[in-house]
């Protein structure tokens, strides 16, 4: 049986192939009667509609943008920061009928399967969420000619990004704690391990996310004489922050402050400390980063960044490669709430 094509359908209806295409892609260009006739005839002969891949090749556009995630796909629907960012992004791209493709990749870039997802992705541009420096997935996108809009500052003057000054963000938190007299600080960091894994002390060289490294530089700059202990108990999750905080409580010299490099980790720590009967902030202060919606309800002192606005601006750059501003630095501020106070003696 001969393959049914758009030309076959056009010939049967007595119209041009472009008119058939309009019936599927631009129905407002046709009368209701003509469009119904085309679709009815298509159903009779088993024509399923224009081929998406072929349409993409002809137009030179995929009609989709990608988001590289360093966590599992479920992370995009469970992490408050990712949800806020993707909400802002979708508000922009949906206006142009553009789709969003989520591409989970390993934080270390060692999985060939993950990189294959980028190799096969049919997208016009992509953005990254906290990808480590020189991650193979981002490098592969550039080799394929896919435009990348980062969520971290890049020194390359030709790069596109929407970011905050994460080092200054760390410095703001550090200066706040310094003013309160804190000089023994535990910092909770995520790593590519299951949530709530056995906590372990890590070296600063093991911290891979770009934003985390910058925040640590800012903290150390603002607290030059402080003792820092870096602890990880898995990926960015409440359980990881709680497990790390319980480990901190067993330290011979308990820190007077705990900093989660994300609000999720800080909120997990806050839950564990309060469950253990620790007076927050009387015995131990807790700080976070990002100011996700639940941080305010918890009274968490944190560094605010405009999460949804970041997503919206990234969306605009993904859709418009010729936008006047290709590098956008967003404002930040410290939100001092009920979880920080003077260092305990």
**220, part of any domain:** yes
- Does residue 136 sit in the same domain as residue 182? no
- Does residue 282 sit in the same domain as residue 312? no
Higher pLDDT, 53 or 136: 136
**1, part of any domain:** no
- pLDDT higher than threshold 70 for residue 25: no
**337, part of any domain:** no
Report, as an integer, the average pLDDT of 341-345.
Answer: 91
- Does residue 295 sit in the same domain as residue 170? yes
**172, part of any domain:** yes
The least confident of 48-52, 151-155, 266-270 is 48-52
- pLDDT higher than threshold 80 for residue 55: no
**156, part of any domain:** yes
- Does residue 212 sit in the same domain as residue 242? yes
**Matching residue, tokens 């590289």:** 68
- pLDDT higher than threshold 80 for residue 73: no
pLDDT value for 281: 98
pLDDT value for 133: 53
Token pair in block for residue 11: 């010939």
pLDDT value for 141: 78
- Does residue 204 sit in the same domain as residue 269? yes
- Does residue 267 sit in the same domain as residue 293? yes
- pLDDT higher than threshold 60 for residue 13: yes
**192, part of any domain:** yes
**57, part of any domain:** no
- Does residue 292 sit in the same domain as residue 183? yes
- Does residue 300 sit in the same domain as residue 267? yes
CATH code for the domain in which residue 30 is found: 1.10.260.40
- Does residue 123 sit in the same domain as residue 139? yes
Report, as an integer, the average pLDDT of 229-237.
Answer: 95
pLDDT value for 106: 62
**Confidence class of residue 44 from pLDDT cuts 50, 70 and 90?**
confident
Higher pLDDT, 336 or 5: 336
CATH code for the domain in which residue 197 is found: 3.40.50.2300
Structure-derived torsion over alpha carbons of residues 270, 272, 276, 279, reported in degrees to the nearest 10: -10
pLDDT value for 43: 83
pLDDT value for 56: 47
- Does residue 147 sit in the same domain as residue 237? no
pLDDT in tens, 104-155: 876 554 443 456 777 778 888 999 876 665 677 777 777 678 889 999 998 8
- pLDDT higher than threshold 70 for residue 330: yes
Report, as an integer, the average pLDDT of 207-214.
Answer: 89
**Matching residue, tokens 């410290």:** 334
- Does residue 199 sit in the same domain as residue 93? no
Report, as an integer, the average pLDDT of 308-329.
Answer: 95
- Does residue 10 sit in the same domain as residue 112? no
* Euclidean distance between CA atoms 315 and 14, whole angstroms: 42
Range of the domain at 186: 166-305
The number of domains in the chain is 3
- pLDDT higher than threshold 80 for residue 85: yes
Average pLDDT over all residues of the chain: 88
Beta strands in the chain (DSSP E): 64-69, 99-104, 125-128, 147-150, 160-163, 184-188, 200-201, 227-232, 257-260, 285-290, 301-304, 327-329, 333-335
Alpha-carbon separation of residue 299 from 154, 307, 334 (angstroms)? 33, 19, 13
* Euclidean distance between CA atoms 16 and 140, whole angstroms: 41
Contact 105, 67 (CB under 8 A): no
Confidence (pTM):
0.80
pLDDT in tens, 276-289: 999 999 999 999 99
**339, part of any domain:** no
Biggest CA–CA distance in the chain, Å, is 88
Three-state DSSP state, 257: strand
DSSP 60: T
**Confidence class of residue 59 from pLDDT cuts 50, 70 and 90?**
very low
pLDDT in tens, 188-200: 999 878 899 999 9
pLDDT value for 122: 84
């Amino acid at each position: 049986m001969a393959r049914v094509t758009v030309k076959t359908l056009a010939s049967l209806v007595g119209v041009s192939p472009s008119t058939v295409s309009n019936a599927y892609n631009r129905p407002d260009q046709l009368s209701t009667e003509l469009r119904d006739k085309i679709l009815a005839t298509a159903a009779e002969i088993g024509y399923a509609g224009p081929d998406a891949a072929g349409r993409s090749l002809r137009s030179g556009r995929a009609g989709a943008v990608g988001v590289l995630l360093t966590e599992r796909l479920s992370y995009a629907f469970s992490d408050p920061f990712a949800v806020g960012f993707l909400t802002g992004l979708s508000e922009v791209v949906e206006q142009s009928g553009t789709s969003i493709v989520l591409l989970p990749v390993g934080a270390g870039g060692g999985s060939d399967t993950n990189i294959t997802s980028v190799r096969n992705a049919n997208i016009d541009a992509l953005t990254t969420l906290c990808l480590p420096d020189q991650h193979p997935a981002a490098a592969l996108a550039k080799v394929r000619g896919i435009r990348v809009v980062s969520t971290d500052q890049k020194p390359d003057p030709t790069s596109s990004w929407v970011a905050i000054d994460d080092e200054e963000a760390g410095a703001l938190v550090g200066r706040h704690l310094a003013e309160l007299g804190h000089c023994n600080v535990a910092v909770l960091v995520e790593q590519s391990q299951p949530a709530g894994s056995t906590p372990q002390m890590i070296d600063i060289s093991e911290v891979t996310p770009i934003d985390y490294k910058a925040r640590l530089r800012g903290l150390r700059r603002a607290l030059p004489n402080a003792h820092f202990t870096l602890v990880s108990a898995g990926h960015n999750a409440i359980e990881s922050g709680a497990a790390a905080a319980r480990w901190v409580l067993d330290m011979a010299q308990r820190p007077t402050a705990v900093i989660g490099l994300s609000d999720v980790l800080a909120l997990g720590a806050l839950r564990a400390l309060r469950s253990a009967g620790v007076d927050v902030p009387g015995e131990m202060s807790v700080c976070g980063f990002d100011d996700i919606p639940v941080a305010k309800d918890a009274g968490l002192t944190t560094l605010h960044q405009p999460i949804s606005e970041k997503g919206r601006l990234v969306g605009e750059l993904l859709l418009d490669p010729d936008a006047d501003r290709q590098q956008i630095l967003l404002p930040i501020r410290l939100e001092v709430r009920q979880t920080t106070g003077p260092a305990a003696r």
